[in-house]
Amino acid sequence: MYCADVGQAAYEEVDLVMKGGNYGWRVFEGPLPFNPPSTPGGNTSADSIDAIAPVMGYAHSSVNSNVGSASITGGYVYRSMTDPCLNGRYLYADLYAKSMWAGTETPEGSGVYNVSTMAFGCSKSSPIPCDFAAGSSLPSLGYIFSFGEDNAKDVYLLTSKGVYRVVDPAECDYACPVKSSAPGAGTPPPGAAPSSALRARAPALATLLAGVLLGFLCFSF
C-alpha cells in the first residue's frame, strides 16, 4: 500500500507502508535531514530509528517556481484500460494542480521506482470547459483535493473546479502506443459486484451523482 505523506516545507513523499515501519519524521523530511526549531522531546539520532526512505516524492524546489508547491495529494495505482499507458502506475499530484506524476517499480520487486512527470490536458468533449492560467499551456484545475476510483477502475480527480475523469489520451491528441497493440484495450475490466448495502443506497446515490458535472482529463508522459 502506498501512502502520500505531506511534508513540512521542503519535500513531499510517497511511502510504501509496512507493518511497524518508521518513516523518519521528525528526524527526516522525506530523504532530507530535518532540523526542527525546537526539540521538546529531546534529540533523536538518525541511526537509532532505522528510518524507511520514501519510494517516490518531490522537492518543493523542483515544482514550478512561479506557482510553488503546497502539499502532496495521492493517489491510486491506475488499473483501468481506458489509458493502458498508465496501467500499473501510482498517480499523485501537488495540491496546486500544476504538477502531476506517475511512478512504478521497475523491474517489479527491485525496490527501484521510475517516476515521470505527466503532462495533462482537457478533452475536447469535456462537459466542464477548461480555462488556462496566464502564461501556461496547462488547464487550470484550481486545487486537487483527492483522487477516486470507480468499479471499472477508472480514476477521478476531485478539484476545486469540479470532478474530472481520466479518459483515453487520444481525446487530447496524446499518443499511447500500447493502445494500438493491446487487443480489447478499450474495454475496462469488470467491476466488483455491488454489496447489498450499496444496492439499497443506489437510488440516493444516483440522485446525488446526477448533479455532479464531470470533466475529462488526459495524461501523457
Give 218: exposed, middle or buried? Use CB within 10 Å, 0-12, 13-18, 19+: buried
Q: Is 40 inside a domain boundary?
A: no
Q: Is 8 inside a domain boundary?
A: no
Q: Is 110 inside a domain boundary?
A: yes
36-47: average pLDDT: 74
Pick the closest to residue 164 from 184, 187, 140, 137 (CA basis): 140
Identity at 21, one-letter amino acid code: G
Grid coordinates given for 27:
528526524
Q: Is 83 inside a domain boundary?
A: yes
Identity at 143, one-letter amino acid code: Y
Q: Is the pLDDT assigned to residue 187 strictly greater than 80?
A: no
Q: Is 53 inside a domain boundary?
A: no
Q: Is 51 inside a domain boundary?
A: no
Q: Is 20 inside a domain boundary?
A: no
Q: Is the pLDDT assigned to residue 180 strictly greater than 70?
A: no
Give the model's pLDDT for residue 184: 41
Query: Range with the lowest mean pLDDT among 49-63, 92-106, 180-194?
Result: 180-194
**Reported confidence tier of residue 46, pLDDT bands at 50, 70, 90:** confident
Read off the pLDDT of residues 60-93 as tens digits, 9 standing for 90 and up. 888 866 666 889 999 999 999 999 999 999 999 9
The domain total for the chain is 1
CA distance to 23, 100, 168, 212, per residue, from 218 (Å): 33, 12, 6, 19
Residues 181, 202: Cα–Cα separation, whole Å = 37
Residue range(s) defining the domain that contains residue 201: 63-220
The residues that bridge with 155 in the sheet, in sequence order, are: 149
Q: Is 146 inside a domain boundary?
A: yes
pTM, full prediction: 0.81
Residues 91, 101: Cα–Cα separation, whole Å = 6
Q: Which has more pLDDT, 204 or 132? A: 132
Whether 96 contacts 159, CB under 8 Å: no
What integer best gives the mean pLDDT of the chain?
83
